[in-house]
Amino acid sequence: MSGQVPEISLDAAVQPVEITPTRAGSQTGAPVRRRRRSKYRPVWEEEPTRLGASGKAVILTCVVLVVVFPLYTVLLTSVSTTAETTRAGGLVTVPGELTLNAYTQILSGGVVTRAVLVSVGITAVGTLLSIVVSVLAAYGLSRPGSFGHRPILFIFLITMFFGAGLIPTYLLVSSLGLIDSYWALILPGAVSAFNVLILRNFFMGIEPAVIDAARLDGAGDWRILAKIVMPMSRAAVAVVALFYGVGYWNAFFNAILYINDNAKWPLQLILRSYVLQGVNLGGGTGSVDVVHGAVTGLPLQMAVMVLAVVPILLVYPFVQRHFTKGVIFGAVKG
């Protein structure tokens, strides 16, 4: 106690007064244990019943487990040895002998490595193109009363209600000579009217006085977009970029349609053929060198699955916090 300043907790001052602080009630000597009241619970709200609270906890834990557990087993199996999967009779749930062989094997050149590069390339180029084009369009449509913005807006809107359909789109892409071209995986879906509208709405929410002030100071629309609107809209742009990026990364059907050459397959198609449909990754085309691999079969397949998720897991935490900031809902409610 020597010379220590007694700590005053700010929390304590704010905290709701316990309604039943009568610990004196326990006159028998043994103090009655009370459950700690959550500091987030408003004063007026009753404590949940023990059954209710534990029921809720169980349900929510199950929900989280249902999402996390499959990912965990897949990840664990991908870093397990083949011996371990044989012992488990399939997927590994309890960590045993670990190895990164599956990854070194599929990433040391061959089908999977190439597919990863293809997917990364398409996602990077596609996302960049989409976000630039969409931000420009969104800003171009966000100035109230600008010339022709209403008919142009309709051009975007109509595409949300009526798509061209699969067959005409396919025939168009093929008559443009884009079959077996990576551009076929990028251009047809490069602009999503919905994403443009999300951005446009966000831009329109920016205080007009700020923009007018910049305009009076002599800034043109390009400068306003670059120096004022963009810095103020990082969250919305990040979310929309995530939407686009995830779309490019996850797409597999457009590759089925437009890419006949196996060597140009993106990762999702590899995942479908070698894992879902169980074509043997190790054999056949000799694309994956099995000679130096102590790992075959399941761990390899699971490693491909992990590769398909990793980019999403890498980007997700940075963007996820913006979801709750009402970026999406703000747009939705107009």
Partner 1 sequence: MTLPSFVGRRRAPDPLHGGAAREAAPAVPVGKISWRTRAKADRSLLIMVLPAVTLLVVFAYVAMLGNVIAWENYSPYTGFLHSPFVAWANFARVFSNPLFLDAVRNTLSITAFQLVFFFPIPIVLALLLNSVMSPHIRTVIQSVVYLPHFFSWVLVVTLFQQMLGGAGLVSQTLRHNGYAGFDLMTNPHAFLVLITMQSVWKDAGWGIIIFLAALGTVSPELYEAAAVDGANRWRRIWHITLPALRPVILLLLILRLGDSLTVGFEQLILQRGAVGPGVSEVIDTYVYYQGVVNGDWGYSAAAGLVKGVVSLALVLGANKVAHLFGEAGVYQKA
Q: Where in 41-100 is the site for partner 1 (CB under 8 A)?
A: 41-42, 44-46, 48, 52, 56, 59-60, 63-64, 66-68, 70-71, 73-74, 88-91, 93
Query: Binding partner 1 by CB under 8 A: which of 98, 171, 226, 263?
Result: 171
d(CA 271, CA 310) in angstroms, rounded, equals 14
Question: Which one of 25-33, 98-106, 108-116, 169-177 is the stretch in contact with partner 1 (CB under 8 A)?
Answer: 169-177
Q: Distance from first CA to last CA of the chain, Å, rounded?
A: 59
Residues in 268-307 at the binding interface with partner 1, rule: CB under 8 A: 268-269, 271-272, 275-277, 302, 305
The answer to whether 259 contacts partner 1 (rule: CB under 8 A) is: no
Assess 332 for contact with partner 1 (CB under 8 A).
yes
Provide the minimum distance between the beta carbon of 198 and partner 1 in the complex, in angstroms, as a whole number.
9
Residue 261 burial (C-beta neighbours within 10 Å; 0-12, 13-18, 19+): exposed
**For the chain, what percentages of helix, strand and coil (3-state, to nearest 5) are there?**
65, 0, 35
Residue 139 CB, shortest distance to partner 1, in Å, is 6
15 binds partner 1, rule: CB under 8 A: no
Judged by CB under 8 A, the residue of 62, 253, 263, 284 near partner 1 is 253
Q: Could you give the C-alpha distances from 147 to 141, 142, 143, 150, 191, in angstroms and in order?
A: 9, 11, 9, 8, 22
318 binds partner 1 (CB under 8 A): no
Closest CA to 140 of 20, 53, 225: 225
Q: Does 322 bind partner 1 (CB under 8 A)?
A: no
- In the chain, what is the greatest distance between 2 CA atoms, to the nearest angstrom? 90
218 sits near partner 1 (criterion: CB under 8 A): no
Residues linked to residue 80 through DSSP beta bridges, in sequence order: 98
- Specify the stretch interacting with partner 1 by CB under 8 A; choose among 21-29, 109-117, 232-240, 312-320: 312-320
Nearer of residues 19 and 23 to partner 1, judged by Cβ? 19
The size of the interface with partner 1 (CB under 8 A), counted in residues, is 110
Q: Which residues, at least 6 apart from 145, have a Cβ–Cβ distance to it below 8 Å?
A: none
CB 185 within 8 A of CB 270: no
Looking at residue 283, the DSSP 8-state letter turns out to be S
Point out which span in 3-11, 194-202, 231-239, 281-289 binds partner 1 (CB under 8 A).
194-202
- Window 121 to 150, contacts with partner 1 (CB under 8 A): 132-134, 136-137, 139-141, 143-149
Report the nearest approach of partner 1 to the CB of residue 150 (Å): 9
Q: Which of 263, 248, 227 is nearest to 311 (CA)?
A: 248
